[in-house]
Amino acid sequence: MRILCLNCGSSSVKYRLYDWEGQETLATGVVERVTVGGSFIAHEVSGRDKLTISRECPDHRMAIKLVMDTLTHPEHGVIADTKSITAVGHRVVHGGEKFAKSALIDDAAIDAFKKISALAPLHNPPNIMGIEAAQDLMPDIPHVAIMDTAWHQTMPTSSYIYALPYAWYEKYGVRRYGFHGTSFLYNAKRAAVLLKKDPFKCNLVICHIGNGASVNAVQNGLSYDTSMGMTPLEGLVMGTRAGDHDPAIDFFVMGKEGLSAKEMDSLLNKKSGVLGITGRYTDRRDVEEAAANGDARAALALQVEGYRIRKYIGAYAAAVGGLDAVIFTAGVGEMSDQIRAIATHGLDFLGIKIDPEKNQLTHTRNAECDISAAGAATKVFVIPTDEERVFIEDVVAITAGNYDIHTRFTYRFQSPDYRNTMRDEAFCRELAKKPGLAKVACHLPKVHA
């Protein structure tokens, strides 16, 4: 059984082809600059050099066709033809209140995604375009939707209702939905493995920090609250999104500068956050380098971002009644020791204390690491997220007819013996260059150990 995972953004298509029987990733990659010109695919296969091919993709159908052509290419591919693909899993950012778990895609599901597209205008339309393009190219196999919002459907009403006219919720669905749910599900289950606890007896704060970023409060294994709201704009300081701020500021500036609602929406989503503070940067590596070279606004951006995360960790520790662990994940969470240090500074009174040396050593996307200080009551883990693994297991279970909501379903990656062989291979190569990583890794690859 071979599962294709597709994540269609407004100008990109990310993919992963997985062999379920062999429990191995056959290929991963991304088509960049879809619809905008200068399109290309970056294709990776274990044991081979990374391949880049330029081909114009004016729409998502052409991008997915390029993925299919590359996967089946006689020299660069990994399968003979597309008939080798058993099923496809699609990322859908917003599932609204209708979906509390992944679902087989039919006409009714697509109609539901279209009806709530107004809640995620930047995300759901390209997700839907990708689904329809893939169905057109592969019409005879199951297609499954994995929703970012599904994980958060366990939040209590007091967590998701805003203090706004209640009629807005009834008429327009105005409420907190939350995002990054697939990443949070994976991290919550893996944290339970590292803690050696029942996943439904774990209280966690999970910090998914990337260009988009959010924090999730997990109480007894269930999503209790999350920093993103009806849209991904609320919450943390992000690469280009403002996050929490006084909404009256928006009206004040609109009046001063004669901005329309659409222009303000664009400013809040695309010109704010780290970019807004620094005036130049969104990539935290660039921000850290600039700060080290004396750029005061870059240094300020790091402090503001880290402090916002720290506030949420403290608030969510109170919300769930104490923590077993804090988890950092996603690109920045996995690779920025500076952000992690700022975000956990001064939280000793909550039992949260990191080891500075371990924290500085932890720069890897291929191993789960423990950066807690010795004797700290609350563990601090850095866990590389693996949303596609959730896609794969959901697709397999749905097609087999034994899938259910995560409270009644056990994932293979919840086993203490679970290994990601591709990551193990990559981690072995990292260890050869940075042997200090062995001090922080929760598990060493068998080939190394």
φ and ψ at residue 208, rounded to 5 degrees: -90, 100
What ranges in 227-282 are assigned the alpha helix state H? 247-257, 261-270, 273-278
* Cα–Cα distance, 226 to 235 (Å, whole number): 8
Please state, in angstroms and as integers, the Cα–Cα distance from residue 335 to each residue in 20, 136, 209, following that order: 29, 39, 10
* Cα–Cα distance, 354 to 326 (Å, whole number): 10
* Cα–Cα distance, 380 to 59 (Å, whole number): 42
* Cα–Cα distance, 16 to 146 (Å, whole number): 14
Q: Which tokens in the block code for residue 237?
A: 């300081």
Q: By C-alpha distance, which of 303, 294, 315 is closest to 341?
A: 303
* Cα–Cα distance, 104 to 447 (Å, whole number): 38
Alpha-carbon Rg for the chain, nearest whole angstrom, is: 22
Q: Which of 19, 49, 107, 148 is catalytic?
A: 148
Catalytic-residue membership of 324: no
Asked if 445 contacts 427 with a C-beta cutoff of 8 angstroms, the reply is yes
Length of the chain: 449
Active site residues per annotation: 148
